[in-house]
Structure 1
């Protein structure tokens, strides 16, 4: 099998997308903080696949001005991990980098399913934890901790 072009379109993800077999869809992080999905195949060759996003935003509320970036990682068995980097409350954004505890990581682990209406939704096993980061450099990626 070889890779081939299926049209002049791109998936609506900010960063990497992941195929989830149970949903038969590609899952990714939308630029506005929602999780979105695209069906794996389309009925019309060359047409962009339909996509939908969760009704509930998974980015933490009120962190927009302190938001530094986010990544979504597929952990297998319909479990996803969203990691957001934010400037700690009470810290000026320009002083968040380098030594000290100027930044935090918000980690949300969740599953996805389709509702009865076919809408994409995060499952109830959603868990969120926050961690202070003693050093933060622009370009920091959390995947280094998993090695």
Structure 2
């Protein structure tokens, strides 16, 4: 009887959805980066004010190291993109031929993708479903002008068959330069909306490979926003009020010419823009209306305007965005953790990155 109950418990446990982990990527040594797998349940309640930032910070735990990946060049400007269980390390270089490293968090294996078809020094990488898209400005040597270009990576090869490959797509109908200020995937999972500085907001249908311009307005986000089913809205960092979260109505992809969607900012501040100390900030969605904010700041006594190499702090804060009975949206249940990092070099442009897998 005891054995049967134990087997039933084990079967029930295997059917429960696996809770993800926060994968933090930090360039904490000279020749590459480290991927840390962190347990957000260990974070402490609080907001992390200036009064005790230094005293509560700890070193990144060695027992949470998942893998170390070497970079081909110490000053290489690389970018990380996540889709499914895989993290892609794109090395943006003037010379084509750089292969892309792919880390599978489920198997802890590292493979490589073939190099992109053209150099991607200033590429904007977009993820829609399991596919990755790269937007770039290329130089047309025959007509002596710059032109937009677009490539697609995916889908992933099946086990034991096929290989990764890049595919050249029709360039987007957007005037140069293409500087993406905000992006959000539609709830249908096949259409992505992009706000391009001084150009307006566009959508790209990955099924029909078609672009649509929706207006000269911009989405109220800084970086990537995420669809939260509990709110039936997009949620991301607010571009109008630094330190706050913005909640925006979802745009219909069929509405080619529409007005700027209605949006509101959450009353609770989630980070403080410490001016000289503030380096970067990003938001990661963990599902069920829960988010993790990653803020990179310098330690006290360091100034990014006078020093090219400085020691930094990483402030990680998890919280839930929910609608109250009064109708207002609040950021609740905030828990934080602060970590010390060895250094941060301005010339590398390498900000720590976080993914929920």
TM range (shorter): 0.7 to 0.9
Match status 1:121 vs 2:357: no
2:281 matched residue in structure 1: 70
The SS at the match of 2:353 is helix
Match status 1:85 vs 2:284: no
User: How far did 1:65 drift?
Assistant: 2.9
User: How far did 1:55 drift?
Assistant: 1.1
1:48 matched residue in structure 2: 260
The SS at the match of 1:95 is coil
User: C-alpha deviations, 1:62-86, integer Å up to 9, x for none?
Assistant: x333111100111112110111110
Contact 2:308 2:345 in 1 (8 A): no
| Structure 1 residues not aligned, in runs of 5+ | none
2:243 matched residue in structure 1: 33
The SS at the match of 1:17 is strand
User: How far did 1:109 drift?
Assistant: 0.5
TM-score, normalised by the number of residues in structure 1: 0.81
The SS at the match of 2:344 is coil
Instruction: From the superposition, tell whether residues 141 and 77 of structure 1 become closer, same or farther in structure 2 (CA, over 3 Å).
Output: farther
TM-score, normalised by the number of residues in structure 2: 0.36
The SS at the match of 2:260 is coil
The SS at the match of 1:65 is helix
The SS at the match of 1:135 is strand
In 2, Cα distance between the equivalents of 1:56 and 1:22? Answer: 19
User: How far did 1:146 drift?
Assistant: 6.6
CA RMSD of aligned residues (A): 2.6
> Pick from 136, 140, 143: which aligns with 2:344?
136
Instruction: From the superposition, tell whether residues 96 and 60 of structure 1 become closer, same or farther in structure 2 (CA, over 3 Å).
Output: farther
Match status 1:59 vs 2:267: no
Structure whose CA Rg is larger: 2
User: How far did 1:97 drift?
Assistant: 2.4
Q: How many residues align?
A: 141
